[in-house]
Amino acid sequence: MAEDKQEKHGEFEREPVPASKTRGLKAFVGMYAGEHCAGTELMIGPLFVAAGVSAFDVVGGLLLGNLLAVLSWMFLCAPIAVRARLTLYYQLEKICGRHLVTLYNLANGVMFCFLAGSMITVSATALGVWFNFPMPGLNDLLPNSTGWVLSVLAVGALISVVAAWGYDMVSKVANIAAPWMVLVFLGFGIIGLRQFIEATGAEVNSLSSLWELCKNAVWKGGEPLSGQVKFTFWHVTFFAWFCNMAMHVGMADLSVFRFAKKSWHSCAAASGMYVGHFMAWLAASILYALQLHLDPANTDVLPGPLAYRAAGVAGLICVIVAGWTTANPTIYRAGLAFQAIMPKVSRFKVTICTGLLATVAGLFPGIAMKLLGFVALYGLILMPMGAVVFTDFWIFPKLGMQPYYAEHKSLKINWAAGIAWIATLVICVALVKSGNPLLQLYFVALPGWFIAAALYIGLSKMQQKGDA
Amino acid sequence: MKKIFQLISWVALVLLVSAPALFYVEKITLETNKALLLAATIIWFASALCWMGREKESE
């Protein structure tokens, strides 16, 4: 699946995808189901429990949030993708100019590195089970043992070398592992539930008694663990909606859906959302809730031990493979983003350096342990460019304004888009810092999108006034 | 030959689902469940490697 995606990235980079190369719904279903069942799912599910979610909030919030994410792909990203049939980067270059795209690539590459770092962290927790070294706790920001450092370095170095050398091989392993991994995640949930029934002595013989168990023992709600933000229904909804914000609202998946025969084929994203971001998150959260139930003092979010307790060695293999196969394309993509900035440096060198950067990020458990906040931040940083693309494509022609302004004027940088991006981020940070609970990091991207769109329209009007 | 490997892969996937399900209904112990999951994992990778990549190459 990652391989398919990569092939696509390498084709038609500066021209529209021809009709003969478009694909049907089925091609995207497998791609999304595999891509969104990743190592980080094993962190996110437990972090929901640490954030004190209740059963209704987590189940209802995920159902709604994932639906909104799918609709964002279907109604924001895909309609532009199938009309323009261009990569995000080329479309941005036409709108914003080459220099601004370089800055976007830099931001994208750095965020990819941190994301890959957290995947390396996840894989390293599996080695901790085998070698029994002290592993970081929920509130640890820095590495806490030599064993941890060596473990992350080993995993990171291996992933980096493979990403630089054997990308195709790992892509094949990722494709083969995907159906197996999905079922192991499902197994985590089923096994965790049985263990819960045994630990609580609950009688579960119907759906309503299962729901009672979920409400009273698994996702009990209440106060979050120390150092965590309390998650309500709306937190879960917005998190599920915006955790892939860079891809749908941020338009990164223009590069994927430019190959779709029809715009509605983007509904394939539902496979990733409801397999990875519903089933896998819930399954992983059940394992963590069980750990807390058995020992409330053990608040460590460590996918390795969690998976091992439920599924033994197969669980550990799942943690390693899930982290490895998803960190690998992430490092590769970050490398591509950096290589666009330094085109003369070889891809091998760039990917190795990117992998090392990701490994250094992986050493710091603070990134993985604060993954909920990091993922929200990742989407927020790239979101304004999605608003710029949307506005430029749909609204500018209606207002009689010039779309693809940088291309039209042969500009290296379209300052209207640049200011809209940076100013939106500054405003969003100020809103978050205001302390208003309605403007927390998890929610602020929604008003942020409208701010970015309004700023881009207003600034472009000023910019284009002299052209008329 | 490919069909045989595909069949074995399907058996591995069925085992991956049935082991946790059997544990849930208390037909097997946790240790047996773990052993079955490991067996299914080995069978899946061994058999899928023989046809999944090749299927794409032949396309």
Residues A188-211 have pLDDT tens digits of: 999 999 999 999 998 898 999 999
Q: What is the ipTM of this complex?
A: 0.93
CB–CB of A313 and B30 under 8 A?
no
pLDDT digits (tens, 9 = 90+) for A206-237: 999 999 999 999 999 999 999 899 999 999 99
A32-41, A261-270, A351-360, B32-41: least confident range: A32-41
- What the block records as the tokens of A86 is 């261009």
Q: Which positions in chain B touch A179 (Cβ < 8 Å)?
A: 13
Phi, psi of A429 (to 5 degrees): -65, -40
Contact A128, A369 (CB under 8 A): no
Within 10 Å of residue B38's Cβ, how many Cβ atoms? 18
Q: Which residue has the tokens 């060198």?
A: A349
What does A174-219 look like in DSSP terms, one character per residue? HHHHHHHHHHHHHHHHHHHHHHHHHHHT----SHHHHHHHIIIIIS
Could you say which of A176, A186, A194 has the minimum Cβ distance to residue B17? A186
Q: What angle do CA A373, A189, A226 make, to 5 degrees?
A: 35
Q: Which positions in chain A touch B33 (Cβ < 8 Å)?
A: 191, 311
Considering only alpha carbons, which residue of chain A is nearest residue B21? A190
Q: Which positions in chain A touch B20 (Cβ < 8 Å)?
A: 186-187, 190-191, 194
Taking the C-alpha atoms of residue A292 and residue A220, their distance in angstroms, rounded to an integer, is 11
Q: Which residue has the tokens 């965020």?
A: A111
Question: Shortest CA distance to A172 belongs to which of B39, B1, B57, B5?
Answer: B57
Q: What percent of chain B has pLDDT over 70?
A: 88
pTM of the model as a whole: 0.91
Considering only alpha carbons, which residue of chain B is nearest residue A189? B20
CB–CB of A186 and B20 under 8 A?
yes
pLDDT of residue A3: 39
Using a CB–CB cutoff of 8 Å, tell me whether A180 touches chain B.
Answer: yes
Could you say which of A175, A183, A311 has the minimum Cβ distance to residue B13? A183
Please name the residues between 312 and 341 in chain A that touch chain B, using a CB distance below 8 Å.
Answer: 312-315, 317
Q: Which positions in chain B touch A182 (Cβ < 8 Å)?
A: none
Q: Which amino acid, A249?
A: V
CB–CB of A176 and B21 under 8 A?
no
Could you say which of A186, A190, A314 has the minimum Cβ distance to residue B34? A314
Contact A151, A124 (CB under 8 A): yes
Using a CB–CB cutoff of 8 Å, tell me whether A1 touches chain B.
Answer: no
The model's confidence at residue A327, banded by pLDDT at 50, 70 and 90, is confident
Where residue A132 falls (left for φ over 0; alpha for ψ -120 to 50; beta otherwise) is left
Q: Which positions in chain B touch A312 (Cβ < 8 Å)?
A: 31, 34-35, 37-38
pLDDT of residue A455: 97
- What the block records as the tokens of A392 is 């430029």
Any residues with CB less than 8 A from the CB of A465 and at least 6 apart, and which?
A: none
pLDDT digits (tens, 9 = 90+) for A366-415: 999 999 999 999 999 999 999 999 999 999 999 999 999 999 999 999 99
Interior/surface letters A380-407, b for 16+ CB within 10 angstroms, e for the rest: bbbbbbbbbbbbbbeebeeeebbbbbbb
Residue A160: alpha-carbon gap to chain centroid: 20
Mean pLDDT, rounded, for A57-79: 97
pLDDT digits (tens, 9 = 90+) for A92-118: 999 999 999 999 988 988 998 998 899
Mean of all residue pLDDT scores within chain A: 91
CB–CB of A190 and B24 under 8 A?
yes
Contact A333, B56 (CB under 8 A): no
The model's confidence at residue A325, banded by pLDDT at 50, 70 and 90, is confident
Could you say which of B31, B41, B56 has the minimum Cβ distance to residue A180? B41
pLDDT of residue A161: 87
Q: How many CA atoms lie within 13 A of A18 on its CB side?
A: 3
CB–CB of A183 and B16 under 8 A?
yes
State the maximum Cα–Cα separation within chain A, in Å, rounded to a whole number.
Answer: 76
